[in-house]
Structure 1
Amino acid sequence: MKRTYIQYRYIIIWLLLASCKHYLDARPDVKLEVPVTIKDLQLLMDDYATMNNTWPAAGGLLADNFYLAAADWNALPQSDQELYLWQRTDQTNDYWNGPYQAILNTNVVLENVDKARNTGAVEDWNNLKGTALFFRAMYFHALAQLFAKPYDAATAAQDPGIPLRYTSNYNDPTVRASVAQTYDRILSDLKTALTLLPETPAIKSRPGKPAAYGALALVYLDMRDYAHAGAYADSCLQLYNRLMDYNELDTLADAPVPRFNDEVIFEMISPNAGALFPAVCKVDTVLYNTYTENDLRKRICFTGNSFKGDYAGMGPDNGYIFAGIVTDEMYLVRAESRARAGNATQAMNDLNALLVKRWRQGTFVPLIAADATDALKQILRERKKELLFRSARWADLRRLQQEPAFAVTPQRMLNGETYTLLPNSPRYVLQIPGKVVSMTGIEQNP
């Protein structure tokens, strides 16, 4: 046990040094042991701080569901001030380095997992490899949502995507794949992971088959391939479909939504972001006023218009984006897919199955839709209300800007000035960190 712990410490140090060369400027100059057993490699995947807590928070900062007072905006780092106002900045290291560190961990595992095959049970080997592929896909997806253009089937083969790192060798050149290649790799990793992962993981910080199905649903949703998104959401819900009844939650609690609650299939969060702490981050007033008095989300999730309904049980002490796989979103994805396919009845059945768990008992009247288009409008409205301070809103803004009927033009008001994010603006894509561009020579975003 002591030897395993020492190896784990050594590999973490090595990874930190190596990752600097990958994307920054340090070069490792020591030779260290590499984990040689399934148990050793699993420790890398169970490193919660690296693997589950480095989802980039920039998407939450860019989303249109909150506002900041001028004094609170002034207290932010300059780069976050600029991102909040959708301004151009290449000081985006905080949202680049963490995901690539996690990707580096996955590549170390994938490079060594076959060597370790005979050091444990077949099920453990399958779970380890599937976990590494799942995490790599999740972080490739996170980076694509920030540093690559939204997926457009007509231009994806030409649009620049992200660097796809497949090895831990810091000498490998850094090049940008296309958007099409980026999403092909994400889907390939997830589909392979699906064949390897268990149906029920030991803990919710590890993925299982429902999480892989859910991740595939969200990737296809971003690609606007709604038929596949709905099919994978349905597969997820066939395995795991629990919903919390908000009538059973304590509306007065500081953290009314418990951590690892019944809706969480897989947990992943971002690091804390100063702009997203409830003490300074106020939910958009128009959005807040859409919650009726019998809608328990208004009491469960808010103190005034400060948000406390996060899915990691931190309440008013949060300040991050929840990016895990959760059943409520799967219901919404399946509902949207059904509405887009013209099946208004089934779409509204999904929406109502969710909302009845959110309203005061005995007060909910099932929503009805005049047709599939009306159903879709209602579902998209509820997505915005249900998925606050998760990874969903920025992804929705990016994909829906390509559909004139549903495109939103977000605005911020600050110090008497109005800032607008127009559809198809280059600000829907973050600039790659300037230091990475200068070191690698890769193409910078506009």
Structure 2
Amino acid sequence: MKRNIVFIACIAILLTMAGCKKYTDLTPKGSLVVETANDYYELVSYPNRAYIITNFQYLVDDMWIKESNFIGVTPNINTVHFSFNVSIDRVSMITISNFYERAYLYINRWNTIISLVDGSKGDDNLKALAKAEAKVLRAFDHFLLINVYAKAYNAATAATDGGICIMDKYDLEAQPVKSTVAQVYDFIQKDLDEALPHLQAQPADPYHPSLAFAWALKAKVHLFKKEITQAKQACEKSLSYNNKIFDLVNYTTVQGGPNVLPIIAPNNPEVLSYMYVQGYNETNFGYTWLISPELRELFGNNDARFNMFFNTTSASFLDIGSNAAYYNVPYTKFFYPTVGLKTTEVYLMQAECLAREGDLAGAMAVVNKLREKRIISGTITLQIPATKKETMDIIINERRKELFLGFNRFMDLKRLNTEPEYAKTVVRKYPIVNKTVPQQTYTLLPTSRLYIIPFPLNVLKKNPNLTLNTDEKLPF
């Protein structure tokens, strides 16, 4: 008897209901039946996929909080992380996590396709394509989860470091056992390697993963494992499919910028995948999410990425005099991606690989290629530094400026903190403007357990197989 997945009302119910029927022989009125290869292929495309990072967004040196949202406020996970407070019970505070739940709900969607598409009607090549695309997205979601809820990959300890639960089949009631960091990375790489031979250079729409995206993700996985040769090769493969850099300098000085020529999602040619940290209108969260004075200073005065998009003068959203800033260009005028991969990150990964291999000239050539499209005036082409450390510092700072907001800086700090040469002790002095309370210095050490986010309490209670990856205590 034919088994069809039935989504009552719409496909999105799969991502919002924990108890939908898995299989049925009867199709209720108004249901959407997924039974052909094309149905499964279309199921891969999910235009409004979002990853809300409110549980860990302030564990970086790039983000800031308006003083009235911190001073005198009852402690919450944002204030705890912003002040780098290791003495408060975070586990009890993180009762739920939109980030965690959405990532696994998306994984269930990909697992549905991977598990059932072969039994559908239709072209075998389309089935292989749907399965391959779903595996790429499953790899992406596992990559996000492992880099939030576990230690950064360290070859010396990854085989024993606690990781996350690998979900490799559709099962809403599963209580999987936690895998190690090494096992999760092996799973991610296996999915990518199996998918790559079947992917397309130009998918049906930008919500289907392309070859450029898959190779970029593979490069990022290798880079995070410090497998530099493989990462560099993957960068080159990705750029062979898409090497475009959106020229912000020309856009600002010649075309008039977003007020004259809107660039909305998905019309930015350097974007390799459209997913969001907040939603389709994600850059508008900048009205309440500020960048720090440190990052503001790093941009300088002639960077199109700052001059075009950020505001430092609105007392409604920031403290005047703090030197913080907020993103203020509506998404209807310009969409700046903060979560999905884009070509500029691939270029910066390529530059990092070259620098790590000692090719400082090659690394700086890549960096300067990007800067030509970002720096409006002044020093555009940087000289080749004398040391690898100086070159790496330039690349790391370019990553901060190019990949602002989102979760990239959080993940970069974690991975770089495994290397003494690049580890950073984050120090912030706060408040800057308010004089009614004493200014304090807050410090986040490279080895801080805060970098490992506790699993949400509701999940810990449901799955006894899931244990914390830090020395924090369960409140039950």
Aligned residue identity for 1:66 = M
Match of 2:265 in 1: 259
Q: Does 1:104 align with 2:88?
A: no
1:10, distance to aligned residue in structure 2 (A): 6.3
- Equivalents in 1 of 2:292, 2:332: separation in Å? 21
- Equivalents in 2 of 1:115, 1:438: separation in Å? 36
Match of 1:420 in 2: 443
Q: Does 1:308 align with 2:327?
A: yes
1:94 to 94, 98, 101: 98
8 Å CA contact retained: 2:244, 2:343: yes
Aligned length: 428
Paired residue secondary structure (1:418): strand
Paired residue secondary structure (1:325): coil
1:288, distance to aligned residue in structure 2 (A): 1.2
Bigger mean CA offset, 262-271 vs 211-220 = 262-271
Superposed CA deviations along residues 71-113 of structure 1, whole A, max 9, x for unmatched, are 2247799333334444552314222101000001111111111
Match of 1:23 in 2: none
Paired residue secondary structure (2:385): coil
- Equivalents in 1 of 2:148, 2:23: separation in Å? 35
Aligned residue identity for 1:219 = V
Superposed CA deviations along residues 231-285 of structure 1, whole A, max 9, x for unmatched, are 2112111221001111232466469764331111111212269999322332221
- Equivalents in 2 of 1:15, 1:247: separation in Å? 40
Structure 1 stretches of 4+ with a deviation exceeding 6 A read 74-77, 273-276
Q: Do the aligned partners of residues 126 and 59 (structure 1) sit closer, same or farther apart at CA in structure 2, a change above 3 Å counting?
A: farther
- Equivalents in 2 of 1:300, 1:76: separation in Å? 35
8 Å CA contact retained: 1:140, 1:186: yes
Q: Do the aligned partners of residues 348 and 38 (structure 1) sit closer, same or farther apart at CA in structure 2, a change above 3 Å counting?
A: same
TM-score under structure 2 length normalisation: 0.81
1:346 to 359, 362, 365: 362
1:164, distance to aligned residue in structure 2 (A): 0.5
8 Å CA contact retained: 1:300, 1:309: no
Aligned residue identity for 2:295 = L
1:69 to 66, 70, 86: 66
Q: Does 1:285 align with 2:293?
A: yes
Bigger mean CA offset, 5-14 vs 178-187 = 5-14
Bigger mean CA offset, 321-330 vs 412-421 = 412-421
Match of 1:373 in 2: 389
Percentage identity across paired residues of the two chains: 26
- Equivalents in 1 of 2:392, 2:228: separation in Å? 12
8 Å CA contact retained: 2:135, 2:195: yes
- Equivalents in 2 of 1:210, 1:275: separation in Å? 24
- Equivalents in 2 of 1:13, 1:258: separation in Å? 27
Q: Do the aligned partners of residues 380 and 28 (structure 1) sit closer, same or farther apart at CA in structure 2, a change above 3 Å counting?
A: closer
Superposed CA deviations along residues 279-318 of structure 1, whole A, max 9, x for unmatched, are 23322213212333333223123222534388x94579x9
- Equivalents in 2 of 1:276, 1:72: separation in Å? 18
Match of 1:445 in 2: 469
- Equivalents in 1 of 2:22, 2:248: separation in Å? 54
Q: Do the aligned partners of residues 29 and 379 (structure 1) sit closer, same or farther apart at CA in structure 2, a change above 3 Å counting?
A: closer
